[in-house]
Amino acid sequence: MKTRLLTSITREHFARWGTLARVVGLIATLVSPASAVSTSSACACPTSGTSACTISNLIPADASSTCDPTLLDTDGFLDENIIIDGNTFVRSIDLSGLRRLGGELVFRDSRFVTKLEAVNLVETTGGVRIEGSIEADDFTQLIEMPELRIVGGSFAVVGQTHVSFTALDVSSLETVNGYFNISGNTNLKSLNITSLHAVAGRELQINDNHAELAVRANCGVEAEGLVNGVVTDLNARASSTFTHNSVSYCSLCTLDHAYSWDNDLSRSVYGATLGSSTLRAFNSSYSCGSNLDADGFLNENLTLIVERNYDLTYDLSALKHIAGDLEFFYRGDNSYGYAPLTSSQCNTTSTPTVSSLLGDPRNVSVNIQNLEHVDGALKVRRMSADETRTRRRVCTSNIP
């Protein structure tokens, strides 16, 4: 089995990357002294036959390995390392079906692979390390791990140089138990790490990527900054680097306004049902890159315009936790003259209800009965029909 130490990579190897010389020191940290690669079996991609590498055609990495891909169980667990190192034969890697990996996933110096996909992977016991080729053009254009949540070791994507590798979305990634390293990716302009909240015990390095790199980060750490918010060790914080052109924590979403008629209940259904309708950016100034997850968590701000009309229902019952602000605009006809919100409603420190804040707008219901926590603020505004002026004061209350 190959146990090549990356610490042997010299600064000259990165001469073609110009200003990326600092990547050398960062990549040197990619080897854990307790790496499972050197102590147990490993699977690799084929070097003949088909150029597509999948779970079913994985082979032993060397004579000492006993890789058996048929051991992937019905829950998608494979108790192996997967090491693709220096493979110049395969053109694509698709690890569909793999949900949990008992070892680490390493992809390095395999320059002709155009895409690496592990679309079902949720958790690894070891690290996930994706490293570009050395002193050669790299053809990797797509790295896709949309469900990855927990990495038991370190997570790194370094040295990717293809002109089409411009975006990396690991927006489900929550916990990395080693270091986090996104460096030396020449054309990387977009990085989505909106769920990342813990880099445990090691440093975070995001540097030497494209000069225009925009980062979407966990809005829950906005006040502290990304490094202070996610790196758990104080010494590791001091040695972390975060270089970017811009960083966005919470953006602003709203719901597509769908209209339908419920014959059984004889009512109009306007607005949307969170979880089934598409969230979209509130306007062109925002991006809204998140979706409501299975646990009812939304990592965004959310604004809903509540229309005054007959028999309208807004169903937000799937929403349980919102990381940003939750804001309701009640927009009605001036002629109805609803009573203003009271001082006690605006100043309450108890958990407010939507009905207590909105009052009882004519035949309009907002179902939000499962909301448990708002990290930001709950805001309610009453507006005139043409939205040219605010009719009532803004009432803001934090939900404990």
Q: Collapsing DSSP states into helix, strand and coil, what is residue 140?
A: coil
Q: Which of 37-41, 173-177, 312-316 has the lowest mean pLDDT?
A: 37-41
> Is pLDDT above 70 for 35?
no
Q: What is the pLDDT of residue 396?
A: 36
Mean pLDDT, residues 241-269: 74
Q: Collapsing DSSP states into helix, strand and coil, what is residue 27?
A: helix
> Is pLDDT above 70 for 173?
yes
Dump the DSSP string for 329-351.
EEEE-GGG-PPPPPHHHHH--S-
> Is pLDDT above 80 for 15?
no
pLDDT of 297-326, one tens digit each?
Answer: 888 888 887 765 555 667 788 888 888 888
- Best CA proximity match to 227, nearest among 209, 241, 213: 241
Mean pLDDT, residues 357-363: 50
**Buried b / exposed e along 88-105 (16+ C-beta atoms within 10 A):** eebebbbbebbbbbbbbb
Q: What is the pLDDT of residue 399?
A: 31
Number of Cβ atoms within 10 Å of the Cβ of 133: 20
28 versus 127: the higher-pLDDT residue is 127
Confidence of residue 46 (pLDDT cuts 50, 70, 90): very high
- Rounded Cα–Cα distance for residues 56 and 62 (Å): 17
H-state helical runs in the chain:
23-28, 226-230, 234-239, 343-347, 354-358
pLDDT of 370-396, one tens digit each?
Answer: 888 888 788 877 655 444 333 333 333
**Buried b / exposed e along 289-315 (16+ C-beta atoms within 10 A):** bbebeeebbbbbbbbbbbbbeebbbbb
Q: What is the pLDDT of residue 73?
A: 95
Q: What is the pLDDT of residue 26?
A: 40
Q: 384 is written with which tokens?
A: 């005139």
- Residue 212 DSSP one-character state: T
Cα–Cα separations (whole angstroms), residue 291 to 102, 117, 356:
29, 21, 28
pLDDT of 85-116, one tens digit each?
Answer: 999 899 999 999 999 999 999 999 998 999 99
- Predicted TM-score (pTM) of this structure: 0.70
Q: Which of 106-115, 231-240, 354-363 has the lowest mean pLDDT?
A: 354-363
Domain coordinates of the chain in residue numbers?
A: 6-248, 252-397
- Best CA proximity match to 46, nearest among 36, 33, 58: 58
Q: Tell me the average pLDDT of the chain.
A: 77
pLDDT of 256-282, one tens digit each?
Answer: 655 555 566 555 555 556 655 567 888
Q: Are 126 and 82 in contact (CB under 8 A)?
A: no
